[in-house]
Structure 1
Amino acid sequence: MRLAEIQQKIQRAQTLDFGQILNESIELFKKVWLQGFLMLLIMIGIMIPFMFIVYIPLFVFGIADATSPGAYDGLAPIAMLFVFVAYLLFTFIMIIISFGLKAGLYRIMRQKDQDIIGNDDYFYFLRRPYLGKTINLSLAYFGISLLATLLCFFPIIYVMVPLNLLIVIYAFNPDLSNSDLIRLSFDLGNRKWLIAFGLTFVAGFLAQIVGMMMCMIGVFFTASFAAIPLYFIYKKVVGFDADDEGSLKRIGENIEF
């Protein structure tokens, strides 16, 4: 779908029904709760090795300093610099992985929602030809979030809606340029900010409550519910081309494991 066509659909968007989208989100969650849980497991599995890389050197240095006080004072600044750099690298890598996996999950949501036959490809946006774009968009996501945070608390509340919509728009329009994707996310975010924020807040609250009722571990199963309303906002405002559906089917048929 072209940029101008999407912009026109956003400008002509009708009023959305809060309750209808919430109900449809619940129905879709019944189909994708397992995929959302598996996405979280993948993220945790990737995160654990990086945590060891960041914290084990600091732990070893702490033990060495405790056994020989003062012997390693000269290495303290180097150790702290290493931990700082490693932490920044770890944070950015996790942002990229999270961004790519969430975009992949939105593709899976569409497959389940529209009964499109295909494999659950979580890593679709974390390999060629989209890995480079995923990294660039993740950097933009991080930069905009950081800037909004530095401008005090309220800007970050505002930009989180367009930034989360950026993942949805990227998932279904990966061939648009980075600047166009960011522009569309803010266009749609400005147009539907209130309902997007309200639905995300309510869905996130329900996911937390239900998850805690399931002995806390249930949060891992319900967390993905908070992302589903944004899918329906995109679906109802922008929609999908018939050609996109055929493309999803062909991709699912061609992938082998």
Structure 2
Amino acid sequence: MRSFDTISKKISEAPSVDFGDLFNESIAVFKKVWLQGFLLQLITIALSLPLLFFNFINFSDFSNNSVPLQFGTEAVFYYGLSIVLAIVSSFLTFGFFRVIRQMDIGEDFKTLDFFYFFNTERIKKALLVVLANVAVVILALLLCVFPVFYVVIPLMFVTPIFVYNPELSISEVLKSSFALGHKKWGITFLISLLNIIALYVLILLTCGLGSLFFGCFLQMPIYVLYKKIISFDNSQTQ
């Protein structure tokens, strides 16, 4: 376990990162975890089925001149379910970052690893991290659109910093994320933008199937940047 000061020092002394090396290393890690990323997509879709079914029923009723969802009594249930699914999806992403590290160092994979942060000992802090993310986004929206454009990059690093350094407080996780995000904002934005465009084209060419197999690639550069700058100790996936 490392202290906040140690992590801050590593970020402040971060070396320059070559774009080509970052992309190549991201591909190398992706080759190790593409199957786990595919499984994550399937789990997420399965968990979203109740919401999809609810939408189908609602739109069927609306076509029969029923009251629209936003004015009906079912709105609370709909938005409540959406929030719960968003939180569950965030927890699964936390678990996936643990899986990435495990596969990267050659450890065995278990499907239950995706649900690591649903444990009663960890779920409270994981929920607080999700709520902190939401609070930052809301604050940025209140300040206008441009701050959201900026904070989206630092918020990408919240997940690995929290997952690999669970001993940090919520404020320390956010401070470290913003420090790293600010330090590597340009290269993170560029590779994320190019990956999103490439994934969009792939989705069009494969009628949506590409997102199932390659959607997790968007996470790979974030993992690699964390690995290069902050690195790991032997206790961070135990």
Report the TM-score when normalising by structure 2. 0.88
| Correspondence for 2:212 | 220
Letter paired with 1:112: M
Quick one: which of 206, 210, 229 aligns to 2:202?
Answer: 210
Paired with 1:227 and 1:19, the residues of 2 have a C-alpha distance of 16
Letter paired with 1:99: S
| Correspondence for 2:97 | 106
Paired with 1:158 and 1:14, the residues of 2 have a C-alpha distance of 22
Paired with 2:59 and 2:204, the residues of 1 have a C-alpha distance of 34
Deviation at 1:172, TM superposition (A): 0.7
Paired with 2:72 and 2:177, the residues of 1 have a C-alpha distance of 36
Paired with 2:134 and 2:80, the residues of 1 have a C-alpha distance of 13
Structure 1 residues 147 and 54 mapped into 2: Cα distance closer, same or farther (>3 Å)? farther
Paired with 1:117 and 1:15, the residues of 2 have a C-alpha distance of 32
Deviation at 1:127, TM superposition (A): 2.5
Bigger Rg, which one:
1
Please, what is the CA RMSD of the aligned residues? 2.4
The reply to whether residue 128 of structure 1 matches residue 129 of structure 2 is: no
Higher mean C-alpha displacement, 42-51 vs 143-152:
143-152
Deviation at 1:191, TM superposition (A): 1.2
Identity among equivalent pairs (%): 35
Paired with 1:88 and 1:153, the residues of 2 have a C-alpha distance of 24
Letter paired with 1:29: F
Report the TM-score when normalising by structure 1. 0.82
The reply to whether residue 7 of structure 1 matches residue 8 of structure 2 is: yes
| Correspondence for 1:229 | 221
Unaligned runs of 5+ in 1: 67-75, 248-257
Letter paired with 1:134: A
| Correspondence for 2:82 | 91
Structure 1 residues 112 and 129 mapped into 2: Cα distance closer, same or farther (>3 Å)? same
Structure 1 residues 46 and 20 mapped into 2: Cα distance closer, same or farther (>3 Å)? same
Letter paired with 2:152: M
Q: Deviations over 1:177-229 (max 9, x none)?
A: 21111111111111111111112112222233334333431222111111110
Q: Contact 1:208–1:223 (CA<8 Å) still a contact in 2?
A: no
Q: Contact 1:211–1:217 (CA<8 Å) still a contact in 2?
A: yes
Unaligned runs of 5+ in 2: none
Q: Deviations over 1:139-185 (max 9, x none)?
A: 12122223323433322121111111101111111232211111111
Q: Contact 2:165–2:236 (CA<8 Å) still a contact in 1?
A: no
Which structure 2 residues correspond to residues 100-249 of structure 1 after superposition, within 5 A? 100-120=91-111, 121-244=113-236, 247=238
